Amino acid sequence: MTTDPRIDALAPGTILGMKYRIDRLLGEGGMGAVYAAYHIDLRKQVALKVIAARHSTDQRTIERFRLEARMASQARHPNIVEVLDLGNADNRWFLAMELLEGLDLFDAIVMKRTYDPLEIVPVLDQVLSALETAHGLGLVHRDLKPENVFLARSHDGDVHVKILDFGVVKVVDEGASAHLTRTGTVVGTPEYMSPEQATDNKVDARSDLYSVGCIAYAMLCGCPPFVDKSVLRVLSAQVTQTPRAPSMLRPGMAHATQVDDFVLRALEKRPPQRYQTAREMRAALHALARVLGGLKTVSQRITLPSAEALDRTHPEGTPSAEDLASTLPDSESEAGPPRLAAPPAQPPPLLPAPSTTGVRAHPTGVSTLGVVLAAAIGALIAAVVTYLLVRR
């Protein structure tokens, strides 16, 4: 794994807080890094999330970090990653969590290309079960995406979902102090963001359910509903455009009508038209499961793609933009959302340019005004085209 030069990585063998020994780097980002570590006193392996030293005096970052620890600790659930410790050592804030074995859902999608409808049921059921608990505590995750849904293998060999990263959580009805984003800025991941979040309007639990719909779409189709190299175009599409039904990208999909109905209701633009609670969406998922193969499919075992398949996809486990571009036929190089499998015949794309980053998306902060202007321009163009077509 190549180390980001912006991150002051901790070397293996470093002792943090007189109790954690750093073993190896697991991942990194702009805010810090995650390590496999060893609790010396408890003799236990943990995952250690450490804020980069350059952010150690940023009060907003520290407060968000502490909020993540507190919220994840309160939302105790088998499908939410367990927080074990929070502390500061040598002016480095750290968060200790259970160390998970497995892979995130993004990598699983890369390896499997697409999931069959039956296969998405147990994964979504566990995600929604966790959200029932979180939402019951007034917590809205706000950054649900395949990268934050981890497929963890337990000691008995079973695979369970673990929801990660409560770092941009919002506490509903707790006041502005709990909402740590800047006014006029959208924070989240555009490809999995609800319309109300994209325009920095008030969000509630139904925003997370929209994100679950995007995750279901990505599992079925190999890409989220809207993908483009422009963040503003993606956000505009989330606000103004209707996604194609999954069956349009997966011709011949079993029980296509019922699967489309389940996913597209979650992706309704207006929150009142979506599922209103995680429990309601979970009940709809169970109803779909009965159609697909019986309620037993809800509790069927989740399987992980083989590590060899991941290695074949990319030597470091994560595909590069070039890898993803190489999976697209020449006819798709100038238009249409990228897929990780050969695309079926389909109608003209909603978005004219493919993403250069593939399915894996990253959180971003963009101006609300820019999103609104982009959405308004998109709506105006659509209206003009419709008018001209009618005149013809």
β-strand partners of 65: none
Q: How far apart are CA 36 and CA 12, in angstroms?
A: 9
Per the listing, tokens 């250690």 go with 48
β-strand partners of 24: 36
186 vs 168, 344, 372, CA distance in Å?
A: 11, 34, 11
Q: How far apart are CA 183 and CA 15, in angstroms?
A: 39
DSSP 3-state assignment of 116?
coil
Residue 1: name the closest of 33, 43, 31 by CA: 33
Token pair of 373 as six digits: 């202007």
Angle of CA points 141, 277, 192, to nearest 5°: 40
Residue 19: name the closest of 51, 43, 47, 35 by CA: 43
Single-letter amino acid code for the residue at 309: A
* 143 in active site: yes
| H-assigned helices in 295-367 | 307-313, 321-326
Residue 225: name the closest of 302, 240, 304, 366 by CA: 240
DSSP 3-state assignment of 16?
strand
DSSP run (H or E) holding 59: helix 59-74
User: From the candidates 143, 165, 200, 260, which is the catalytic residue?
Assistant: 143
Q: Is 32 left (phi over 0), alpha (psi -120 to 50) or beta?
A: left
Q: How far apart are CA 133 and CA 141, in angstroms?
A: 12
DSSP state of 327: T
33 vs 36, 51, 66, 77, 99, CA distance in Å?
A: 10, 7, 16, 25, 14
| Residues taking part in catalysis | 143
